[in-house]
Structure 1
Amino acid sequence: MAFEKSSVFGLGTGIYTLPDIAAILNLPHAKVRRWMHEYWKVHFGKADQIAFSDGTGTELVTNFYTLIEFFTFYQLRALGVTAQKIVRAHQVLEDVYKTAYPFATSKILTDGKEVLFKGEVGDIIRADETLQITIKEVLEPFCKKIEFDDDSLAKRFYPFGRDSEIVIDPHRQFGQPVISNTNILTETVYNLYRGGESTDLIARIYDLPTTQVQDAIDFHRHVA
């Protein structure tokens, strides 16, 4: 199917450089750069679809949904699904879900061999050209770090899981990591800590629990 070509950005879409994606998803920069050029720009960003990125080289940027699709792509590859099957499934699921970002939906499931998704009647259907119904037990969504909206599209991403106070929310601070339920950038907290301020003082400055301050520090220590 054809999608209306539009800008990669809009209100609440977030803005992410390739280093941002690598840091948030804890992936090597070279891998993120290769995937963006080999898959998103070549296979998923066709001329008759929307643009998945903007800019070139070190100035290339993308949006929140593509960030989530990177996460899904990585999870599928880690589970042993081949890149060829992932690309094919993405193309099929675009038609099924009528979205250019099918890997950012809550309906993606996997058995480690094929990419699967929930069908209209709750069956698990193999995401290839044949759309054969697969007789398999319904699998738990593997995107447990993602919060979805009522339309099953990714809404927020928790890089350390729901137990952490760090969230990637495209409606807050252009999608950069913030402390949950605030507009406080984790980088701001971390820079104060690196400058010699104690966690207790930072917590008092921003009226935060020390656990949230520590989560922000731990996040940047992890991605450094």
Structure 2
Amino acid sequence: MKSDTDTIFGLGTGIYTIPDIAAILGLPQAKVRRWLHEYWNAQFGKFSPSPFSDGSGRDLITNFYTLIEFFAFYQLREEGVSTQRIIKAHQVLEKALQTNYPFAKSDIFTDGIQVLFAGEVGEIIKADETLQLTIKEVFEPFCKKVDFNKNHFAERFFPLGKEHKIIIDPKRQFGQPVIGGTNVLTETVFNLFRGGESIEVIVGLYDLTVDQVEDAIHFHRNVA
């Protein structure tokens, strides 16, 4: 039985367009669109009772868990894991973890060759057809930028890292980037700065710190 997180859109799931995902993750829009169609909807969707996206063309949207899965997918590819291994692992882990979004769980690791996940008793289980145990030195490819809830599902994403003030939380502002501790959209801050307002003025307008404003500006300059 699939978990509650498998509802594509609902309260607190966030709404993201192709440009949103591309901007947040620093990826080309064409690649995001291709990945969503070729891997999530075509490959992973074979085993899913519900689609990973809704709409079409410029109106195509997806949710927070797919955003996190894109981040995990990208990190795995950066570590040299082949696309075919990732697809196979995703399909196996869907069944093993009983979720359509296994890459949005904190149990995911990689050794650069296999895709792995942590078993309930602390072993590392190889994500292949046999689910063989393996003991290897592994690392978490994306947990440094993600907070997980008590069920080990992603609940917040920090695109610049947790040491910075930018947070993506599907329960706040429909999941658009905000300044940590507030509901102020980073785009609002950046637009004011780009329009000629000084950092000091923006700090006063929204009762922010200089660090918060500078992080918002840095974030949007990087994704511009």
Q: Is the 8 A contact 2:106 2:153 kept in 1?
A: yes
Q: Which residue of 2 aligns with 1:140?
A: 139
Superposed counterparts of 1:1-224, under 5 Å = 8-46=8-46, 48-137=48-137, 139-143=138-142, 144-224=144-224
Pick closer, same or farther for the CA change 1:160–1:32 going to 2, 3 Å.
Answer: same
Take 1:209 and 1:69, find their aligned partners in 2: how far apart are those partners? 32
Distance 2:11 2:25 in 1: 23
2:169 and 2:44 map into 1 onto residues whose CA distance is 23
Determine if contact 1:72/1:104 at 8 Å carries over to the other structure.
yes
Between the aligned residues of both structures, percent identity stands at: 63
Deviates more, 1:47-56 or 1:87-96: 47-56
The one-letter code sitting in structure 2 at the alignment partner of 1:140 is F
TM-score w.r.t. length of structure 1: 0.95
Aligned equivalents of 1:87, 1:215: Cα separation in 2 = 35
Q: Say how many residue pairs are matched.
A: 222
**Alpha-carbon distance, 1:44 to partner:** 1.4
* Structure 1 pair 51–108 and aligned structure 2 pair: CA distance change class (3 A): same
Cα shift at 1:72: 0.3
Indicate the SS of the match to 1:147.
Answer: strand
The answer to which of 140-149 and 106-115 deviates more is 140-149
* Amino acid in the other structure paired with 2:134: T
More moved, 47-56 vs 66-75: 47-56
Aligned mates of 2:185, 2:3 — CA distance in 1: 34
One-letter amino acid matched to 1:27:
L
Kindly tell me: are residues 7 and 117 of structure 1, through their superposed partners in 2, closer, same or farther at Cα, counting changes over 3 Å? Answer: closer
Q: TM-score, normalised by structure 2?
A: 0.95
CA gap of 1:7–1:109, structure 2 versus 1, over 3 A, is: closer
Alpha-carbon deviations, 1:47-82, whole Å to 9, x = none?
A: 752221000111100000000000000000111111
Q: Report if aligned partners of 2:111, 2:139 keep a CA contact under 8 Å in 1.
A: no
C-alpha displacement of 1:97: 1.0
Q: Is the partner of 2:46 in helix, strand or coil?
A: coil
Amino acid at match of 2:221: R
- Kept in 1, the 8 Å contact 2:47–2:91? The answer is no
Q: Helix, strand or coil for the counterpart of 1:45?
A: helix
Q: CA deviation at 1:163?
A: 0.9
> How far off is 1:102 after superposition?
0.3
**C-alpha distance in 2 between matches for 1:176 and 1:214:** 18
Shift of 1:175: 0.3
> Where do 5+ consecutive residues of structure 2 fail to align?
none
